[in-house]
Structure 1
């Protein structure tokens, strides 16, 4: 009798688990965690993506963006890693910082414990100045003065795209700079406009003001393979063969079930083709670059090889 009752209880629990899984994602909101403060490129993209993804996941699906800024995305990455793998906690990961941080210091997360689901953006870094601040606005003049003056350079955090890009340029061009990390590029941009920092490293999608009447912001150099729509000259055009880009996408806990990961991946891909999403997210439209989770995971493993060469450079800057 006890054995039969135990079997009934076991079967009932299994049925309950299947029922709960079948309800995803209709029975409660999905958290989409962002590791930077509101107003930056990752945050704006995530909020735009969330409202268009919802309808691809079901009529009752709801996605809530949650900001957990700090430590160059480490806090958010740790939250994703340790979340219950039920599909209700997803997050944005920002490459190369996501890969690089655990290489040069002990972190509370490890990339091999997080599952990349879909890449969304491949956005080159850019050095931006304030035309009204009296600082050089051409790369040639910037480098010449930087060899005698330690300019303050704002970025999204130690080991993030902009910081690494400036470290490489400083190494190759022979100058040092004062690193100013922010919780997000929204804060960094405000400091640049307010003349509290000399320059800011940001991505093309975070500096749509460039070229518009009335803005004091001016692009000095782009870490891309070719010029973006804003016309900022690339480093290669100006004598430095350097490129670095901010890749952003969605990830989840490592044990996230395959069927949920596939539904999220498909929803991202469909959203990125939605005319409404493209119109609402004009900042990201030029740099959208969808990549399935498995392919992106392989690319990140290859990126690790390049990032290892920057560990000593990062340590020397401290």
Structure 2
């Protein structure tokens, strides 16, 4: 009898010790936030500006530490999120459509089933940019050059499966052209090569051009936006559809945790992100993100991605077929 009592007491202690292990979150230690692109790009800048406001909402000793793990179109970072411990001290940012598209094209180091989406933060349309002194002043001129000589125009993107890469593939299919694609580890590298004359055209996101918003003046110039309608931030920049190419592509960014993270932590983080995004000081400090902020709860975002996968699958099959040739 005494043995049974001891066993029951031990079990109870184990439940008390293990059950609320998450209760100290996020005060126990800093939370590592993994980002799949180099410092200075849209994802990195968004996270670094927003996270201090999320810390305030979490309260206590909450502290985020950003860790950049660029490469493979975000796959390295997504894999790090999937392998994180269930204590939520290692979380990350996911970039759609790359996050859900890459596993459609090849075997990856992660599965989306291993990751729980917490909150979408932005929905950011792709923008086609050129150096200010470029002779290519419109999307029509880019397409005309490619029709005249296939592969004659270099167009940059941030890795296979990213929104920029898919946007270029969609553009090539719709316009029946073949650009010379150049893959980069992030928008900062694209910008460097554009300004240095080593890249003719860049495929970036609207939030990554805050210096152009309202004026479209500077060392770079936007010549088309891949959204359904013109952006209030770039009112003079036509949509691709206005150039006769009816395609749209946006980059969605948000936060995710390992699948085994508790509901309590996930909901706590989701609420803090939602509140941080509404903070007037955050909006003021992040002029690039302000026009594209689009909060969506994790469960709703996951349903959106499930629906999106149907539209992306044909492009995945096309990419696999090309690789097999």
Which residue is equivalent to 1:292? 297
TM-score of the pair, normalised by structure 2: 0.93
Deviation digits for residues 41-75 of structure 1 (CA, Å, limit 9, x no counterpart): 00000111111100111221111111111100101
* 1:137 has 2:141 as partner: no
Show the 5 A alignment for 1:159-198.
159-198=161-200
**1: CA distance, partners of 2:322 / 2:40:** 28
Q: Structure 2 unaligned runs (5+)?
A: none
C-alpha deviation, 1:315, in angstroms: 3.8
**Following the alignment from structure 2 to structure 1, what is the Cα–Cα distance between the partners of residues 101 and 62?**
34
Residues 38 and 70, structure 2, Cα contact 8 Å, conserved in 1: yes
TM-score (norm 1): 0.95
Quick check: 1:157 aligned with 2:155?
A: no
Distance 2:55 2:71 in 1: 27
Preserved CA contact (<8 Å) 2:210 2:287:
no
Deviation at 1:262? 0.5
Seen in structure 2, the aligned counterparts of structure 1 residues 116 and 239 have a Cα distance that, compared at 3 Å, is same
CA contact (8 A) 1:77 1:93 kept: yes
Deviations 1:87-145 (A, max 9, x none): 2111100001111101111111111221111000000001111122x441211111000
Three-state SS of the structure 2 residue aligned to 1:256 is coil
Q: Which moved more, 1:299-308 or 1:201-210?
A: 201-210
Aligned residues: 317
Equivalent residue number for residue 23 of structure 2: 22
Distance 1:38 1:316 in 2: 33
Whether the aligned pair in 2 keeps the contact of 1:90 and 1:251 (CA below 8 Å) is yes
1:209–1:217 Cα contact (<8 Å) kept: no
Structural mapping, 1:2-81, within 5 Å: 2-81=3-82
Q: Is 2:229 the partner of 1:226? A: yes
Q: Does the 8 A contact of 2:39 with 2:188 survive in 1?
A: yes
Tell me how far 1:213 sits from its aligned partner. 8.4
Distance in 2, Cα, partners of 1:68 & 1:10: 41
Would the alpha carbon gap of residues 127 and 313 (structure 1) be closer, same or farther in structure 2, given more than 3 Å must change?
A: farther
Checking the alignment, whether the CA contact within 8 Å between 1:32 and 1:91 is kept in structure 2 is yes
How far off is 1:214 after superposition?
6.7
SS of the aligned residue for 1:11 comes to helix
Provide the rounded CA distance (Å) in 1 between the counterparts of 2:212 and 2:8: 67
Q: Which residue of 1 aligns with 2:218?
A: 215
Q: Distance in 2 between matches of 1:12 and 1:169?
A: 61
> 1:135-185: CA deviations, max 9, x gaps?
412111110001214211111111100110111111111111122111111
Q: CA deviation at 1:18?
A: 3.9
Q: Shift in Å at residue 79 of structure 1?
A: 0.6
Is the deviation greater in 203-212 or in 35-44?
203-212
Q: Distance in 2 between matches of 1:246 and 1:26?
A: 32
Distance 1:152 1:249, change over 3 A: same
Alignment of 1:236 onto 2:237: no
